Amino acid sequence: MDWRHNAACLDEDPELFFPVGSSSAALAQAERAKNICRTCTVVETCLKWALDTNQDAGVWGAHSEDERRTLKRRINRVHRV
């Protein structure tokens, strides 16, 4: 079975996980999405998938686009050392 079948977001509106912009409303929407992720049993798998497949939009594994970019840079730095 695919890990997505066990995701806490399965029955949520997908739009919630794709806030647009950086307004206070968009940031609040992203935080609501992350809160759902934080309850999820496959959150680590989701984050790994998003990093491995270069997802550049949305909240995946309780991380926004910017948070994933930062995490990926850190991972790449560690692997270069």
pLDDT digits (tens, 9 = 90+) for 20-30: 999 999 999 99
The candidate with the shortest Cα–Cα distance to 59, out of 17, 13, 9, 19, is 17
Separation of alpha carbons 42 and 63, rounded Å: 13
Residue with tokens 């977001």: 9
Residue 36 is assigned to a ligand binding site: no
Residue 2 contacts by C-beta under 8 Å, 6 or more apart in sequence? Answer: none
Instruction: Write out pLDDT tens, residues 35-73.
Output: 999 999 999 999 999 999 999 999 999 999 999 999 999
Residue 40 is assigned to a ligand binding site: yes
Residue 37 is assigned to a ligand binding site: yes
Residue 46 is assigned to a ligand binding site: yes
Q: How many CA atoms lie within 13 A of 4 on its CB side?
A: 7
